[in-house]
Amino acid sequence: MKRHPQILKKEKTALLVIDIQERILPVIHEWETVVANTLKLINGFQIMNVPIFYTEQYPKGLGGTESRIKEALSEAKFYEKITFSCIGAGNLFDDLKSAGIVQVVVCGVESHVCVQQTVLDLLANGFQVNLAADAVSSRRKFDFETSLNRMHSNGAEVTVTESILFELLEVCGTVEFKSVSKLVK
């Protein structure tokens, strides 16, 4: 039987963590949930040996990545940017393509600015985007909800952290499954 082509596959997927920075987080709607679910994604991707990339928007003004996330990202590839979209983050899009990545899982802030512009640019460049709706947010709930609708209507797969992790796992009963299951409990 045939599986749906939008289902994530480890060998062609990467995680992109966008601008979860110290100075903006305190004003982000439900920021604690964004951080918690981002950490689950990072740890799950590391368990499954799936590549991770992350960005910081103008760190001189917005500070660095939130400390727990930064620590978890120690092995991830970092890109600094001043553009809102990650298309302007150095060679990020080229690096994704060079690594054979066609499915990009996205999390970060703010959903209606940097995340949305990045998602639209990823889609325009032929990537499938899976947006972790429980790991993105904005300062205002209305902006967050509106951006989710816009990204979805333009082709992004809007889903949640646990769905993403279990799609990548495919099967239960493995060592990876047991480790990832502990993360989501």
Please give the share of the chain, as a percent, with pLDDT higher than 90. 89
The one catalytic residue in 70, 81, 121, 134 is: 81
Answer yes or no: pTM beyond 0.85: yes
> Given pLDDT bands bounded at 50, 70 and 90, which one contains residue 184?
confident
Q: 55, 17 in Cβ contact below 8 A? A: yes
The one catalytic residue in 19, 40, 70, 121 is: 19
pLDDT for 13-65, tens place per residue? Answer: 999 999 999 999 999 999 999 999 999 999 999 999 999 999 999 988 888 99
Q: Average pLDDT of 61-75?
A: 92
Please compute, for residue 146, the number of CA atoms within 13 A of its CA located in the half-sphere on the CB side: 9
Per-residue confidence (pLDDT) for residue 8, from 0 to 100: 97
Q: How far apart are CA 14 and CA 46, in angstroms?
A: 11
- Strands (DSSP E) along the chain, which ranges? 13-18, 52-57, 77-81, 103-109, 128-137, 157-159
Q: Report the 3 state secondary structure along 51-71.
A: CEEEEEECHHHHCCECHHHHH
Q: 51, 16 in Cβ contact below 8 A? A: no
Q: Does the annotation mark 114 as catalytic?
A: yes
Q: How many residues does the chain have?
A: 185
- In the chain the domains, ranked by start, together with CATH numbers, are 10-184 (3.40.50.850)
Least confident range of 4-18, 81-95, 148-162, 171-185? 171-185
Q: Does the annotation mark 81 as catalytic?
A: yes
Q: Does the annotation mark 182 as catalytic?
A: no
At 34, which amino acid appears?
V
The one catalytic residue in 86, 114, 121, 134 is: 114
